Amino acid sequence: MVPIDKVEIGMSQNETLKIIGTPTEKIKLGEGPSGIIEVWHYSQDDKIRHSVEFTDGKVEKVIGDYNAYQNELKNMIKNTE
C-alpha cells in the first residue's frame, strides 16, 4: 500500500519518490507560466488508485482516492451542461 498521506504540497519529486516510490505512470501534461506540469499515477490491480500532480517539480495536488476524484469531475461537468 502506498503511503500517499505522507506526501505534502510543496515536496520535490525526489522527496515524493523516497516516500511513495516509483509511479506506474508519469504523464507530462505541458508547460504553463508556472513551469512544467506533470502527473504521476500509482496503480494497484490495474487501476489507478492515487495521483500526484507536480508543477515545476513540486507537489501541487495529492489525490488519495483517484476514483472518487474522477467521479467529482464527472459531476462538475454534468452540472455545467
Domain range enclosing 43: 4-64
pLDDT, averaged in runs of 10, over the chain (81 residues): 91 97 95 93 92 96 91 86 70
Is the whole model's pTM more than 0.75, yes or no?
Answer: yes
Element (H, E) at 70: helix 66-80
Domain holding 19: CATH number? 3.30.1450.10
Tally the domains of the chain.
Answer: 1
Give the CA radius of gyration of the chain. 13
DSSP characters for 16-31? HHHHH---SEEEEEEE
Pairwise CA distance, residues 19 & 17, whole Å: 5
Question: CA 77 from chain center: how many Å?
Answer: 20
Is 70 inside any structural domain? no
pLDDT at 42: 95
Cβ neighbours for 25, distance < 8 A, ≥ 6 positions apart: 40, 41, 43, 48
pLDDT at residue 76 in the model: 87
